[in-house]
Amino acid sequence: MQAAASQSTHVRARALPSVTDALKAVEALLLAGGQRTARRNAWTSVLDDRRRAKDRVEAQHVLEAVSGRASRAT
C-alpha cells in the first residue's frame, strides 16, 4: 500500500507555457512577417523615387534643349 501511495504522488515537472508566453510567440511571428513586408515596401518606394528623379532630370534636359533651340531660332 505504501508503494501505491508513492506512485500516485509522482508529479512530472513539465512547465506549460503561459498565456503571455503564447501571445508573445504569436506576436513575434506576426511582427516578423510585417517587418519583412514593411522593408520590402520601403525598398520599392526608394526604387520608385529614384526612377522618378531620373525621369525628372531627363525631362529637364529635354526642356532645356528644346528651349535653347527655340531661343536661337527667334
Question: Can you tell me the distance from the alpha carbon of 70 to that of 9, in angstroms, rounded to the nearest whole number?
Answer: 100
In this predicted structure, what is the pLDDT of residue 12?
66
In this predicted structure, what is the pLDDT of residue 57?
97
pLDDT tens-digit readout, 28-52 = 887 777 788 888 899 999 999 999 9
What b/e readout covers 37-49, taking b as 16+ CB neighbours within 10 angstroms? Answer: eeeeeeeeeeeee
**pLDDT higher than 80, residue 25:** yes
